[in-house]
Amino acid sequence: MYKLLLCGRYLRTRYLAFVCIVSVMLGVATLIVVNAVMSGFSTKLKDRLHGVLSDVVVDTDNLAGFADPPDVLMAKIKAGPAGPKIAAVTPTVEVFAIMQFRAGHPGGPLITKPVRLIGIDPAGRAAVGGFSEYLVRQKDAPAPSFDLTADALARYEANKRGREREDATLAVPEAPPAQAIRLPDAPPPPDAAAMTAGMPVAKLYGAFPGYALAHLRYTNEAGKLVEETALYPGDAVTVTTVGGETLRPVSGTFLVADYLKTEMSEYDQSFVYVPLEQLQAIRGMSGRCSALQIKLKDYEADKASVTAELQKLFPYRDVRVNTWEDQQGPLLQAIDVERGILNILLFLIVGVAGFSILAIFTMIVSEKYRDIGVMKALGASSGGVMSIFLGYGLLLGAVGCGLGTALGLWITEHINDIEAALTKLTGRAVFPRDVYYFKDIPTNIDPAVVGLVNAGAVAVAVVFSLLPAWRAARLHPVRALRFE
């Protein structure tokens, strides 16, 4: 009982103990906040990558795509050993391209950007998961489409009339045609409207450009981030790519039907989704695809076996079978390595708190020489004296961890409010949206990590208490009281 009483008394009366508590508190709070933010970024990044790539991807290096049609390939996969483990399959065509469009209106500046052009069946792509949730207008739609809304069609018609007026203004007037001589019994001249009445109307194909492609972000003269819409639904974009195996240039025109907003600048600035059949027609690869996106029924349990079976089905040098983690392996590994190194470096803060405990406890042992001698003279054992200081270190660590955990969780919960306040105070964005395109700083609190941080901090406090406690336990009562 006397051990607890002495520990409590030292905690209340020794103001230097407050330094130890603050050191442990700051170290624990910092580790919790950093881990929560790093975990939030990692989780959000993995969700975005997984959604864009699907569970398993089978693709080919052949620019003309697979030799067999998509229906044959999908039937072959479903009939194989991996078929029962597969939930959905959809074909895609992916190729590099150059996109051109007029920003804002038909007379706006001409913008040219390199893009990744991807032909998909939108309903099939949504079936393999993680696609429709990133669409702006058709968010979470079970079967999204490239169909244009009434407003988009109206804007297209208005843009078309505007272009016709501009062409008419710039056109050079031609000389009137010579009057044709018509014989009395000759048939009347054909009516132009009647000639075009039976002709088929060209189909309008929609497209899903990345949100950052369709919205320009820049900093104005006042230093504020401004977002300006460059492509509205119904605006036309022209994409130029290569066709077949001869790398001949081909092009096509599409109308904006929706936006893809993954909140990842790398994808929102480069991805453009168009109808699969139209991209196949433009590139001269009708009935062929360059990749198969596959969704598994149980990804974690079946990814290894399904990948192995698909590699047996496609034993060709130009065909690759990878999970989304394999395709993004270097990036995911880099995130894990950075997170581990950052944790090691930040744990040094807790190490500093440990050295503070060592120094303060050594000072306490020197000051309490007489008290320790009296306790041992009254019958206190060496183990009992040692447990007093170890318990004191444990108590300091526990109090510091408790306060640090509370502070860390509070900062994590209000981190976006804190970021907004710091941005307003300094006049400089702490979390620039033009880099990440995230609305807020993502966080993810893992209870296991919080527990591990607390356990490590308490262990450090106890370990650095060992040497002073051992010195106090070895103290001989006669030597401690000989000068009293």
pLDDT at 109: 84
pLDDT at 171: 52
**Rounded CA separation 392/376 (Å):** 18
For 63-111, write each residue's pLDDT tens digit. Answer: 888 888 999 999 999 888 888 999 999 999 999 999 999 887 767 788 8
Q: Is the pLDDT of residue 332 over 60?
A: yes
For 391-422, write each residue's pLDDT tens digit. Answer: 777 888 888 899 999 999 999 999 888 888 88
- Which residues lie closer than 8 Å to 216 by C-beta, 6 or more apart? 103, 227, 228, 229, 230
Of 72 and 196, the structure prediction assigns the larger pLDDT to 72
pLDDT at 113: 92
The beta strand positions in 205-337, using DSSP E, are 206-209, 215-219, 225-229, 236-243, 248-256, 271-275, 291-296, 319-323
Which range among 21-25, 244-248, 271-275, 363-367 shows the weakest confidence by mean pLDDT?
363-367
What's the whole-number mean pLDDT along residues 250-261? 92
**Rounded CA separation 23/350 (Å):** 7
Helix (H), strand (E) at residue 78? helix 70-79
Q: What helix, strand, coil percent values describe the chain, rounded to 5? A: 55, 15, 30
- Mean pLDDT comparison of 89-98, 216-225, 245-254, highest-scoring range: 89-98
Of 232 and 195, the structure prediction assigns the larger pLDDT to 232
Q: Is the pLDDT of residue 198 over 50?
A: no
The one-letter code for the residue type at 407 is: L
pLDDT at 379: 63
The one-letter code for the residue type at 388 is: I
What's the whole-number mean pLDDT along residues 292-300? 90
Please name the residue that has the structure tokens 């009982």.
1
pLDDT at 200: 42
